[in-house]
Structure 1
Amino acid sequence: MTQHLQLPSINPSVPFSSLIQGRLQEGMIITVCGQVLKEADRFNVNLQNRSDDVVLHFNPRYSWLLPISGYVVHNTCQNGKWGWEESKVETPFPKGQMFSLQILVTQESYKISANGKLFSEYKHRMPFSDVDRICVVGKVELKLVALHYIAPSLPAFPGSLNVPYKSIIYGGVMPGKCFVIHGVINLQAKRVGFSLRHKTGVAFDYSPDFDENVVVRNRYEDGKWGEEERSGLMPFERGQPFLVTISCCSDKYEVFVNDKQVHTYSRRKNAKEEIDVLEVSGDVQLTFVHP
């Protein structure tokens, strides 16, 4: 389950700046999902304080010397003076591709995960409790910026949610309700499932099948599955991050993947207020679900 500290920013513009309510605390996780522009030379994700010190500077860079891999700089700027750079001569964020970045705050350091894998660890040089703002600048397009806690413990990687994942939907699924799901498809994935469930069945099951390269949409009522709707359009890739938004209309569900509408599915006879569970299952590393 996730505990949301403030509403996520969906498709915000860049440069991006947002206050962190109550400042940064141990156990908090910052999730940033987006796409590096093809012409990018660099972009920055900064955690800053009220004095405009950069407490954490996470800076993927691209140059003609390292056109494919690039490198990532970590640093701190206090009183206008930069410290020594900690560099890693590789980047998990190729140009033109989606990326998933998570920063987990621990007592000793920031644990930084990229596309579902622990990428680096940056020891604190300044108190993280002074951080009250996150900023993103540079040649990148943002899809999601979110701040949250995750429980229970023992995640697959720092900041991940246990799968299968279930969350209670309070107040049913009325028109205008949206679900935002962010994660990374496993490299050997066979199938992933996103389901809106009620006590006696499934109102909407959305299942990418990687062996058949299709997305199956269906429902389960009265003890049996309905007629499948299948599509050759596969907006997911093994080993790649994704951002799914399920938008609930009065007569249909609209599904967006990485900010592009890819499928619709007609709503059936289920009373909207009876749908009370969102479930995510299958071969996926899940990092963020809202609400």
Structure 2
Amino acid sequence: MTYYQQQPFSSPQIPFTGSIQGGLQEGKSITVSGRVLPGANRFHVNLQCGSRPDADIALHFNPRYDSKTGYIVTNFRKNSHYGTEERIHQALFPMGNHFNLHILVTSYSYKISVNGNHVMDFKHHIPINMVDTIVVDGMVEVYTISFQDAAVPSVAAQASYSMPYITTILGGLQPGKNISIQGIVNPHASRFQINLRHSSGIAFHYNPRFGENLVVCNTLTNGQWGSEERSGGMPFHMGQNFHLIITCNPHHYNVFVNGNQVQTYNHRFTNLWEINALEVSGDMSLTGVNV
């Protein structure tokens, strides 16, 4: 199987219609990062079958603000007829605030998370292999729409990289940039680390520690580490493949492992264009990198 990662849409003009290259399949995920405009009345994100105005809509995700607290409507449209609305009565998208909407495709449903918290499963009403378009409209500003494929190449097809590994990030980082890392955790791993470096330190240090069963994130500036951010739970498993994507947003990084958002880390080093190197080391084998 050939591995392919669609590049993100960066700062698209709203209303926006974009192609989901290769369509949807189980394990694929889509992340929309943006900000609700002040005074918004509603916006929506649609996953649909083509770009025609009358296209079937597999998922209609529609935050609305015509009540004091706000709520979310989800639905589908087939043969020009909408189904029965499902509503989430939670204020998950405050006006003027930033958000990350993550949609993971499973065999049964779309798993929908907002800012790292799972909020609902929306079951399929239209076959996922018919879905090839994403539409965003309404009173919202979008920073990036990024994609993560479920496909991981077989071990026989994987490239081999010497460790520790370092490569140049041409042009530095910018919002909308994705860094994709594939590897295999060593069977008796203690820890490994992924660093986004600049000339005087490490902008983002990502450090899974198996002995403590947690991940540590930090920043190194002029030889001094900042305060650690520790997140419990381990998204990696000894002896198993993984696919990690770091998405650079205007104010933070999002980290995805095997289709799930697992960390958000606010920028402490904000000159993103000066971040010019990716470094990977520790108890893992590196099998694929895309910067």
TM-score (norm 2): 0.60
8 Å CA contact 1:194–1:205 kept in 2: the answer is no
Give, in whole Å, the separation in 2 of the partners of 1:77 and 1:266. 43
1:61 aligns with 2:64: yes
The match for 1:145 is 145
Could you tell me which runs of 5 or more consecutive residues in structure 1 were left unpaired when the two chains were aligned: 153-167, 183-192, 209-214, 220-225, 231-240, 247-256, 280-288
**Equivalent residue of 2:129, what SS?**
helix
The match for 2:202 is 205
CA distance 1:37–1:290, change in 2 (3 Å): farther
Q: 1:177 aligns with which of 157, 172, 178?
A: 172
Shift of 1:204: 2.8
Give, in whole Å, the separation in 2 of the partners of 1:48 and 1:267. 38
The match for 1:90 is 90
Give, in whole Å, the separation in 1 of the partners of 2:219 and 2:166. 26
Deviations 1:127-185 (A, max 9, x none): 11100100000000001101113689xxxxxxxxxxxxxxx9875234x1326479xxx
Alignment of 1:152-163 (within 5 A): none
Q: 1:277 aligns with which of 259, 275, 279?
A: 279
Aligned amino acid, residue 87 of structure 1 = R
Give, in whole Å, the separation in 1 of the partners of 2:251 and 2:143. 11
Aligned amino acid, residue 73 of structure 1 = V
Deviations 1:261-285 (A, max 9, x none): 97449979xxx7xx44269xxxxxx
Could you tell me which runs of 5 or more consecutive residues in structure 2 were left unpaired when the two chains were aligned: 153-163, 180-192, 206-217, 227-246, 253-264, 282-288
Deviations 1:98-135 (A, max 9, x none): 01100000000000001101001111111111001000
**Equivalent residue of 1:178, what SS?**
coil
Give, in whole Å, the separation in 2 of the partners of 1:266 and 1:44. 32
Aligned amino acid, residue 172 of structure 1 = T
Alignment of 1:45-56 (within 5 A): 45-50=45-50, 52-56=55-59
Deviations 1:73-111 (A, max 9, x none): 111111211111011111311111001100000000000
Give, in whole Å, the separation in 1 of the partners of 2:82 and 2:272. 52
8 Å CA contact 2:48–2:57 kept in 1: the answer is yes
The match for 2:100 is 100
Give, in whole Å, the separation in 2 of the partners of 1:266 and 1:38. 29
Q: CA RMSD in A?
A: 4.2
Alignment of 1:103-252 (within 5 A): 103-149=103-149, 171-174=167-170, 176-178=171-173, 180=177, 195-196=195-196, 204-206=201-203, 218-219=221-222, 226=223, 243-244=249-250
Aligned amino acid, residue 39 of structure 1 = G
Give, in whole Å, the separation in 1 of the partners of 2:219 and 2:278. 22
The match for 1:28 is 28
8 Å CA contact 1:14–1:136 kept in 2: the answer is yes
Aligned amino acid, residue 15 of structure 1 = P
Give, in whole Å, the separation in 2 of the partners of 1:43 and 1:32. 13
CA distance 1:170–1:266, change in 2 (3 Å): closer
